[in-house]
Amino acid sequence: MSDEREKAKWAAARAACGMVEPGMVVGLGTGSTAIKFLDLLAGRVRQEGLKITCVATSEGIGREAGLRGLAMVPGFPDFGPVDLTVDGADEVDPAGNLIKGGGGALLREKLVALASRRVVIVVDPEKHVRELGHAFRLPVEVIPFGWSRTVQALRDLGADPEIRLQGDGFFRTDQRNLVVDCRFAGIPDPAGLHARIKALSGVVETGIFPGLAHAILTGRPDGTWDLCELRR
């Protein structure tokens, strides 16, 4: 990754960290920009004595949060309302629809987003696209039982599906499910495609996040950032 992109990610993470207020329940997203936000948030907790509790969107980010001294909400992995979630995205279209799940945490990320009063997506400029799905494959989480039949059902919907691998076997999500990365010739109707895929037996969740973001925070290499508020 270029140094310019890294600088842009840090700019977005710093701006998002400034949105956290004492007493908040904070959703911790998964991804390269989200981990930068985690580092900065832990710094505020140490230096300012900021009192917050957190909800992690993956087991990996939960471990990283624990190493930095951030506390999860009582009863975690169960959780109630979340005040602010800061998460990344693989693609963002002009309406604020997202593709997420490059790291495989799409189900937990979506559950936390749905529980959040405010979802701020932190990205660098390269994550903005005219239309979802041209450059990035859409992740779809599926159960292992009968997975090849589910893959064929995705193919029948017009996808070019490819099951995600890791090492010598299948990639497994935190729920021990599989991920099928689907190439489409663009996704002009994100909500419609999400609904059609979700209706397939064997599908757990899709990486389309239609209308879930409240704001898109885009960092720039010069350290500045833009905040685009979305009507929800």
Q: What is the pLDDT of residues 36-90, one digit of tens each?
A: 999 999 999 999 999 999 999 999 999 999 999 999 999 999 999 999 999 999 9
Where does the pLDDT of residue 121 fall: very low under 50, low under 70, confident under 90, or very high at 90 and above? very high
Share of the chain above pLDDT 90, in %: 96
Distance of alpha carbon 76 from alpha carbon 71, whole angstroms: 10
CATH 3.40.50.1360 boundaries in the chain: 3-129+211-229
Going from the C-alpha of 50 to that of each of 17, 40, 83, 194, the distances in angstroms are 12, 12, 15, 38
- Residue among 4, 6, 59, 109 flagged as catalytic: 109
pLDDT tens-digit map of 60-72:
999 999 999 999 9
Q: Establish whether the linkage from the previous residue to 125 is cis, with ω within 30° of 0.
A: no
Where does the pLDDT of residue 13 fall: very low under 50, low under 70, confident under 90, or very high at 90 and above? very high
Is there a catalytic annotation at residue 109? yes
Question: What pLDDT sits at residue 232?
Answer: 62
Whether the predicted pLDDT of 1 surpasses 80: no
Q: What is the CATH number of domain 138-205?
A: 3.30.70.260
3-129+211-229 CATH, one of 1.10.645.10, 1.10.490.10, 3.40.50.2000, 3.40.50.1360: 3.40.50.1360
